[in-house]
Amino acid sequence: MLKRLNHVAIVVPDLDKAVSLYQNVLGAHVSAPQDLPEHGVTVVFIDLPGSKVELVAPLGDASPVATFLARNPQGGMHHLCYEVDDLIDTRDRLLTQGLRVLGDGQPSIGAHGRPVLFLHPKDCAGTLIELEEVRAKPVTLGDLPGSE
């Protein structure tokens, strides 16, 4: 069911400072910042061989990661993202095993332009899990039915 680890996400209180650390001190390639208003975050990706690190910062006061930063002012690991071939089939199989999907249970579009779902950390050994469908062609929210 699970494919490769796509990325490890780290919530940071200061995105510019974190980018500087990874880029200037650690010598990593860092993507341009990407605002994801539908998720309430700004993200950048650090490209590594075979995987990525996602730096996540709140986008506005209502950001879901703002509560994470309130509990962890220095930031920290937020979630792991695994690739799957068929997100709906994976979701349905996991639901029958008693795992909970966060939100309304329907996929949203993630930072890579592909459908994603999040699994409740209490069902996943204390870790928030993001599942990303890799067979899907990248899209934007404007490409989804009902969006204008």
DSSP-assigned letter for residue 100:
P
At residue 32, what is the residue type? Answer: A
Identify each DSSP E strand in 50-136 by its residue range: 51-58, 76-84, 108-109, 115-119, 128-133
Q: Which of 54, 83, 130, 133 is catalytic?
A: 130
Cα–Cα dist 146/141, whole Å: 10
Tokens of 106: 């329907």
- In degrees, rounded to 5, the angle at the alpha carbon of residue 36 between the alpha carbons of residues 39 and 142 is 100
130 annotated active-site:
yes
Q: Which residues are catalytic?
A: 130
